[in-house]
């Protein structure tokens, strides 16, 4: 059995050594981008990330373990029809992404962007902050990131509402858990809204002009999922018109965000450059995850994070 590894970030020597040890007598090849198509010709397993066109060169491929949580760049029809096993990184980076969601939330609530500008002007000028205690947060997508964010929110004294595409067990930190059909009700009650659901054709522009009309004028939107879940034109309009108070985003519809984008200049918007998962521990965590899943694959056991390719993400029981 041949295992091919390629990832743009890359694994260090100790991580590769651990994978080789776990693979036993099986061949492990760390490929360059230029050699990837050739190396995949005899491969059974691919571990890493690359756009899907390269897999047309891999007739013996049975399992793809990607190093990303989002699958919008992978699940093209040509690949789905091959009935391969595909698993993703859902939950692997949940601690870091949830922390980034809270960085954006707290920066906005504490008026950090305002004070940063005042500091540069040497101005000592206080403004009212946004209280977390006693407020309501709506979480759209109660996966690993949503659950972690919810626990912290409850510790801050916030009331947590959540909607999910499925019906996971309701955590203690969540006051109400509804189906995704109740999203408008969630938006109408929420002072803060976290977008943490998978991106699929069904969630494309889930947050659009109509949904912004259901939000409070003092509401804060935070998106750490995928940029295309939020209609950016509607977001700009909502912020410019004051129909919501502020937003924090780690993801955009087009990345890198073009210099001419209106998002750069829109008021009350905090942007980070899709960096939520960029932890120093990221690749070690991913290598450890792959090693555990490799053991499952060899033993014929169910894989962790096995993707339902029709839904576009792992079903909850497998996350």
Q: How far apart are CA 28 and CA 31, in angstroms?
A: 10
Q: How far apart are CA 316 and CA 217, in angstroms?
A: 33
**Per the omega criterion (within 30 degrees of 0), is the bond before 299 cis?**
no
Cα–Cα–Cα angle for 79, 80, 86, rounded to 5 degrees: 90
Residue 101's SS3 state is helix
Q: Choose the catalytic residue: 147, 226, 232, 253.
A: 226
Which residues lie below 8 Å from residue 177, measured CB to CB, with a gap of 6+?
142, 161, 162, 163, 164, 167, 168, 170
How far from each other are the two terminal CA atoms of the chain, in whole angstroms?
Answer: 26
Residue 274 annotated in active site: yes
CB 239 within 8 A of CB 266: yes
Dihedral (CA of 244, 248, 254, 258) sign: positive
Alpha-helix runs per DSSP H in the chain: 13-23, 36-39, 77-80, 94-109, 112-120, 144-155, 183-189, 209-213, 232-241, 282-299
Q: Choose the catalytic residue: 147, 148, 211, 274.
A: 274
Q: Choose the catalytic residue: 27, 78, 202, 255.
A: 255
Residue 50 annotated in active site: no
Residue 255 annotated in active site: yes
Q: Which residues are catalytic?
A: 226, 255, 274
């Amino acid at each position: 059995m041949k295992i091919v590894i390629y990832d743009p970030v890359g694994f260090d020597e100790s991580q590769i050594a651990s994978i080789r040890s776990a693979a036993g007598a099986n061949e492990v090849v760390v490929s360059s981008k230029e050699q990837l198509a050739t190396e995949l010709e005899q491969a059974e397993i691919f571990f890493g990330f690359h756009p899907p066109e390269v897999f047309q060169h891999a007739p013996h491929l049975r399992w793809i373990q990607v190093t990303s949580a989002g699958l919008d760049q992978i699940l093209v029809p040509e690949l789905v029809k091959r009935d391969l096993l595909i698993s993703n990184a859902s939950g692997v980076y949940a601690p870091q992404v949830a922390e980034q969601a809270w960085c954006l939330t707290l920066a906005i609530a504490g008026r950090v962007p305002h004070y940063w500008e005042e500091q540069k002007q040497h101005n000592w000028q206080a403004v009212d902050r946004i209280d977390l205690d006693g407020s309501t947060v709506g979480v759209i997508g109660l996966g690993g990131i949503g659950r972690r964010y919810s626990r912290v929110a409850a510790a801050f004294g916030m009331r947590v509402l959540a909607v999910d595409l499925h019906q996971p067990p309701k955590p203690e930190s969540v006051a109400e858990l509804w189906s995704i059909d109740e999203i408008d009700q969630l938006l109408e009650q929420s002072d803060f809204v976290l977008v943490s659901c998978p991106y699929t054709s069904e969630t494309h522009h889930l947050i659009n002009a109509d949904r912004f009309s259901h939000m409070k004028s003092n509401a804060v939107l935070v998106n750490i999922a995928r940029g295309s879940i939020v209609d950016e034109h509607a977001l700009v309009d909502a912020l410019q018109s004051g129909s919501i108070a502020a937003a924090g985003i780690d993801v955009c519809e087009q990345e890198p965000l073009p210099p001419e984008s209106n998002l750069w200049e829109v008021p009350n918007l905090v942007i980070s450059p899709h960096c939520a998962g960029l932890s120093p521990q990221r690749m070690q965590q991913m290598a450890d995850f792959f090693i555990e899943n490799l053991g499952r694959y060899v033993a014929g056991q169910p894989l962790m994070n096995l993707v339902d390719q029709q839904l576009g993400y792992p079903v909850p029981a497998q996350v």
